[in-house]
Amino acid sequence: MAIHITDDAAADELLTTNSFALLIGMMLDQQYPMEHAFLGPHKVVGRFGSFDPATIAAADPEEFAALCAETPAIHRFPGSMAARLQELARIVVEDYDGDASRIWTEAASGKDLMKRLQALPGFGAQKAKIFTALVAKQLDVRPDGWEKAAGDYALDGFRSVADVVDPVSLQKVRDHKKQMKAAAKAKA
């Protein structure tokens, strides 16, 4: 299945064909609009010429951070995200032989997948649940117990990036997030 998150055909193609790009898009999806976060890998490819984890891991950290900060930056915090991206690239190279998809395709269970994801920089419990739902719903990778691991994100609806398949669903997810923020603010 093709990924449709960014409303940019080339960026979405990269997310569809490059598992490391999809993982990095998810990592960048914090305190930043999701469609812009998932554009980050495409921006890196355009500036760096590659989205190979080994090449990124080996890059000079200062030069890589400067590349990530070029306008438009890959994130509203480009320096810290560039360092996190390189650390994640190192983990993918060292632990998964450079193949990010092994994180989810070789997970023995949903619980194992959650453990693998939470060991990555920038992936807390909620982000790991969302990514578990994303790979299950959009990549059809469903280790035993993935629904329990993903929690509410496994349910049908428009809760997260895992439910985005086109511009209409993207807007529905945005609306849901806006409602959740408003509800949380009302309680505070």
Q: Within a domain: residue 185?
A: no
| pLDDT > 90? residue 167 | no
> Are the C-beta atoms of 41 and 29 separated by less than 8 Å?
no
CA–CA separation, 48 vs 64, rounded Å?
8
pTM for this predicted structure: 0.93
Nearest to 81 by CA among 27, 153, 147, 18: 27
Q: What is the pLDDT, as a whole number, of residue 151?
A: 95
Residue 96's pLDDT band (boundaries 50, 70, 90)? very high
Number of domains observed in the structure of the chain = 1
The CATH code of the domain that includes 145 is 1.10.340.30
> Are the C-beta atoms of 47 and 55 separated by less than 8 Å?
no
CA of 14: how far to CAs of 10, 41, 101, in Å? 6, 8, 14
> Are the C-beta atoms of 79 and 89 separated by less than 8 Å?
no
Tell me the pLDDT tens digit for each residue of 11-23: 999 999 999 999 9
Tell me the pLDDT tens digit for each residue of 22-80: 999 999 999 888 889 999 999 999 999 999 999 999 999 999 999 999 999 999 999 99
Q: Within a domain: residue 75?
A: yes
Q: Within a domain: residue 166?
A: no
Identify the residue whose tokens are 């609806």: 157
Burial class (CB in 10 A: 0-12, 13-18, 19+), 152: exposed
Q: Within a domain: residue 187?
A: no
> Are the C-beta atoms of 96 and 121 separated by less than 8 Å?
no
| pLDDT > 80? residue 162 | yes
Q: Within a domain: residue 86?
A: yes
CA–CA separation, 181 vs 178, rounded Å?
5
Q: Within a domain: residue 173?
A: no
Stated as kind and residue range, the H or E segment containing 84 is helix 78-96
Q: Within a domain: residue 178?
A: no
Tell me the pLDDT tens digit for each residue of 111-150: 999 999 999 999 999 999 999 999 999 999 999 999 999 9
Q: Within a domain: residue 2?
A: no
Range of the domain at 60: 9-154
